[in-house]
Amino acid sequence: MKVSCIVFAAITGLASLAQAEDAYIASGKRTAEANCAQCHNIAPGGAFKLYPPSFQAIATYMDPEIMRLKIMYPDHVSIMPQFHTFIFEGTLDNIVGYIQSLDQ
């Protein structure tokens, strides 16, 4: 009986964790729709392009830490907004989580 209760608790906990992760990814997608979609193709399976890169290309080729840096501090020749002036770390994590979800 104890083992089945532990297994049930573990499964329930994993389901809750997955739901929370889905909520973060959905939040990241909404933020991307509002702030990134004007220039980037943010759709799952979006065509790979170089400039500006599609989120699918970024998901495939870029390390998450580099994503964070490029979002917050874009290259000086970029026309990307200076997100470091108004975006919070949690929002950044959600955007990166959404991008990473495209490569799964």
Q: What CA dihedral angle connects 52, 48, 38 and 32, to 10 degrees?
A: -100
Q: Which two tokens stand for residue 95?
A: 């955007």
Give tens-digit pLDDT for 11-49. Answer: 455 455 556 578 899 999 999 999 999 999 999 887 787
- At the second CATH level, the architecture of 2-101 is Orthogonal Bundle (1.10)
Confidence at residue 8, expressed as pLDDT on a 0 to 100 scale: 45
Domain layout of the chain by residue ranges: 2-101
Q: Which two tokens stand for residue 24?
A: 């973060």
The pTM is what?
0.73
The fraction of the chain above a pLDDT of 90, given in percent, is 42
